[in-house]
Structure 1
């Protein structure tokens, strides 16, 4: 169990770096007017896949963790965060990334591909950043 918590917490940095890179790459492509390349497609794919992996690890933790107490979660803000707020936000962020990648790939014009990635990935990233149990934000967060 402890290894999953560490993996989930550590992999968040890879996910965040991929998000920042994918968004910066889309901004660069849009502003330079270059074609949507295979490299762009792969960056967006790796970002989406990493988010899906994080979601799967998180769902395993959700149903096996001692921090989650479904019976008493609404009375305690920390338990509610881990049992409801964090998982729902991360599921939504994963859906947004998946939609964004699909809309980005499906757009006909190259600027629209980049624009869709920027829009959907940025919204997902904001949601992720707001929902991470940062040690300074949530009591009981961190490596425990």
Structure 2
């Protein structure tokens, strides 16, 4: 097994950790926002870990972008759409995490995380679904 296949497997598997952390952060943020709960150190840590995992996934993806034969083959989805959507999702997570730190009101912090992380999750899921349509040999839940 060469470096490309190891990295591709890591990138495919890491997405589950990213999706789980995003869903947990969004659920926690919505519960905190609607339940008028305080913004705790646990909330902050969950959001930072989500940010770190998203950025790690982007790093895996960027390395794959430069070593992948799919990009060299000129498949438009991999060259433009997938990477663009994923970078946009990472920007949403980064901005959401940064903006949540600014406010003093816990409700605003929770709402900011719910909004930005939620939008990032929608972009990521849409990109994964689009990937399964571009390459039918891949599945949403299967490690490819």
Superposition TM-score, scaled by structure 2 size: 0.89
| Rounded Cα–Cα distance in structure 2 between residues aligned with 1:136 and 1:36 | 37
Q: Is the 8 A contact 1:11 1:54 kept in 2?
A: yes
SS of the counterpart of 2:117?
helix
Q: How many residue pairs align between the two structures? A: 137
2:68 to 60, 65, 68: 65
| Rounded Cα–Cα distance in structure 1 between residues aligned with 2:132 and 2:52 | 28
Deviating 4+ runs (over 4 angstroms): none
Identify the residue that residue 11 of structure 1 maps to in structure 2. 14
Normalized per residue, which structure has more helix? 2
1:92 to 88, 95, 98: 88
Q: In angstroms, what is the RMSD of aligned CA positions?
A: 1.6
2:120 to 124, 131, 134: 124
- The answer to whether 1:113 aligns with 2:109 is yes
Query: 1:141 offset after TM fit, Å?
Result: 5.2
- The answer to whether 1:28 aligns with 2:31 is yes
The gaps in structure 1 that reach 5 residues or longer are 74-78
- The answer to whether 1:39 aligns with 2:42 is yes
The gaps in structure 2 that reach 5 residues or longer are none
| Rounded Cα–Cα distance in structure 2 between residues aligned with 1:111 and 1:19 | 19
Query: 1:138 offset after TM fit, Å?
Result: 2.1
| Rounded Cα–Cα distance in structure 2 between residues aligned with 1:44 and 1:136 | 28
| Rounded Cα–Cα distance in structure 1 between residues aligned with 2:17 and 2:76 | 26
Of 128-137 and 98-107, more deviation after overlay is shown by: 128-137
Q: Relative to structure 1, is the Cα distance of residues 48 and 26 closer, same or farther in structure 2, using a 3 angstrom cutoff?
A: same
